[in-house]
Chain A
Amino acid sequence: MPKVSMTVNGNAVTADADARTLLVQYLREGLRLTGTHVGCDTSQCGACVVHVDGKAVKACTMFAWEAEGKTVLTIEGLAQNGKLHPMQEAFRENHGLQCGFCTPGMIMTAVDMVNRKGHDLDDPTIRHELEGNICRCTGYHNIVKSIAAGAKAMA
């Protein structure tokens, strides 16, 4: 099988990938980074969101080879030196998760939101920006609260 190489969470990595291997499969099965989830596999739920060259994308809707040579950030790359990223900490503080399945995608989407929209995010903005992320547990209320708090904490 051909190899695909990229930088993931700061490390140069190489793993096998077919032409049809999706980026999310490459991360989960090739690199054993199972923090990135597959919820729907149809580009709707956002459980698979990672950053490619600094932009949030759905890793179930991109081939691994499309990320050849690119820089990828997954949920595993957020915590530094054993300390949770401020957005992760905010989700914990504000009870922003229940089962946790959607959470990696929610947090990667939230960090992308802050990168694009700044640290002062109001409720309508956050809710609108979450249109590509689905949560079956929380009712979103605490997710929105977590993101507003996390955005401030990232300042």
Chain B
Amino acid sequence: MYNFAFHRPTGLRQASNMLGKLEEAKILAGGQTLIPTMKLRLASPGNVVDLNAIADELSGIELKGRSIVIGAMTRHADVANSDVVKQHLPALAYLAGLVGDPAVRHRGTIGGSLANNDPNADYPAAALGLGATIHTTKGKYEADNFFKGLFETALGADEIITKVSFPLAKKAGYEKFRNQASRFALVGVFVSKRGSEIRVAVTGAGSNGVFRVASFEEALKKRFAPKSLEGLTIPATGMNSDIHGSAEYRAHLVGVMARRAVTRANEFAAGEGED
């Protein structure tokens, strides 16, 4: 790893200023992606701005009206174990518990995952699959306008995610086929139903990052059941293809995971007993 200078701002404004002024600056949140990437020299920031000194201010999970609001520095383990999330949005707690492994979940953060927008990460599927709102130091974005392709988001260079607001869904489920070594999603599908709005978001598969599947959403409008998706596939064009799986294999998995995610969503909804 190339050496760098690190900075530990004690306020959000100070952090934004640093990001604006320092050259080749990168934010360090949980570090579970940034540090491995720096080891591989895929990233070699001259300056690292660590948000951990202001982690308290940026952490927490709260039920606000019909949404769950999660601070950007909240760790995956805290989302996975949160009673509020488990009760009101069990699919999100379930998803957080599938990220990495227990030690990684103690460090990794929701804001870091969304800002990084790794094409195989879990959280982008939840954000897009629930229609979350991503709040930053400069404003807010709907998930539909936030993800811009591989490792690309709408965030400006000196912009920091502060919190993420997930609207409660009547039904929501996630299913992930993971790479056994990295624990990342080879294909992960998040489905949700909120009133008449149906969302199906896919991570891991697309060569341009997380995306929605309109044909699946349409089919689920008639009946929110795995049967509605039977026989439906998506084309292999635009799918990732690498040593872990071909484009055709991933396209096939999208259908399989989507059906399982719907099943899980229905199970969560039945078990939850409210809504």
Complex contacts, B103 vs chain A, CB 8 Å:
46, 49, 56-58, 109, 112, 132
Whether A142 is near chain B, meaning CB under 8 Å from some CB there, is no
For residue B54, give the distance in angstroms from its CB to the closest CB of chain A.
Answer: 14
CA distance A58 to B107 in the complex (A): 9
CA distance A116 to B4 in the complex (A): 36
With A42-B36, A61-B35, A63-B35 already in contact, the answer to whether A55 and B101 are too (CB < 8 A) is no
Give the residue name and chain of the A residue nearest to B77 (CB). A55
Whether A19 is near chain B, meaning CB under 8 Å from some CB there, is yes
* Docked complex: B163-207 residues within 8 A CB-CB of A: 181-183
Chain A interface extent, by class: 20 to 34
Contact B4 A56 (CB under 8 A): no
Complex contacts, A20 vs chain B, CB 8 Å:
1-4, 38
Complex contacts, A46 vs chain B, CB 8 Å:
101, 103
CA distance A58 to B102 in the complex (A): 10
With A62-B35, A132-B100 already in contact, the answer to whether A19 and B106 are too (CB < 8 A) is no
* Docked complex: B32-49 residues within 8 A CB-CB of A: 32, 35-36, 38-39, 48
CA distance A109 to B181 in the complex (A): 18
Complex contacts, A19 vs chain B, CB 8 Å:
3-6, 48
Chain B interface extent, by class: 20 to 34
Complex contacts, B100 vs chain A, CB 8 Å:
43, 132
Counting chain B CB atoms within 10 Å of each CB, the highest count among A44, A46, A63 belongs to A63
Give the residue name and chain of the A residue nearest to B75 (CB). A55
CA distance A22 to B107 in the complex (A): 15
Complex contacts, B217 vs chain A, CB 8 Å:
none
Whether B31 is near chain A, meaning CB under 8 Å from some CB there, is yes
Whether A93 is near chain B, meaning CB under 8 Å from some CB there, is no
Give the residue name and chain of the B residue nearest to A113 (CB). B102
Whether B219 is near chain A, meaning CB under 8 Å from some CB there, is no
Give the residue name and chain of the A residue nearest to B100 (CB). A132
Complex contacts, A116 vs chain B, CB 8 Å:
102
CA distance A61 to B31 in the complex (A): 7
Whether A65 is near chain B, meaning CB under 8 Å from some CB there, is yes
Complex contacts, B1 vs chain A, CB 8 Å:
20
Whether A76 is near chain B, meaning CB under 8 Å from some CB there, is no
Whether B50 is near chain A, meaning CB under 8 Å from some CB there, is yes
CA distance A114 to B31 in the complex (A): 25
Give the residue name and chain of the A residue nearest to B1 (CB). A20
Complex contacts, A43 vs chain B, CB 8 Å:
32, 35-36, 100, 104
Complex contacts, B52 vs chain A, CB 8 Å:
66
For residue B38, give the distance in angstroms from its CB to the closest CB of chain A.
Answer: 8
* Docked complex: A11-46 residues within 8 A CB-CB of B: 18-20, 22, 41-44, 46
Contact A41 B39 (CB under 8 A): yes
With A20-B1, A42-B36 already in contact, the answer to whether A62 and B107 are too (CB < 8 A) is yes
Contact B107 A61 (CB under 8 A): yes
Counting chain A CB atoms within 10 Å of each CB, the highest count among B1, B28, B102 belongs to B102
Give the residue name and chain of the B residue nearest to A131 (CB). B101
Q: Which 7 A-B pairs have the closest CB atoms?
A: A132-B101, A55-B106, A131-B101, A20-B1, A56-B103, A58-B103, A19-B6
In the complex, given contacts A20-B2, A63-B6, A109-B102, what are 13 additional A-B residue pairs having Cβ atoms less than 8 angstroms apart? Answer: A19-B6, A20-B1, A20-B3, A43-B35, A43-B36, A56-B102, A62-B107, A63-B35, A66-B31, A131-B183, A132-B101, A132-B103, A133-B101
Chain A contacts to B: CB under 8 angstroms: 18-20, 22, 41-44, 46, 49, 55-58, 61-63, 65-66, 109, 112-113, 116, 129, 131-133
A-B contact pairs, 6 of them (CB 8 A): A22-B35, A42-B36, A42-B39, A43-B36, A109-B103, A132-B100
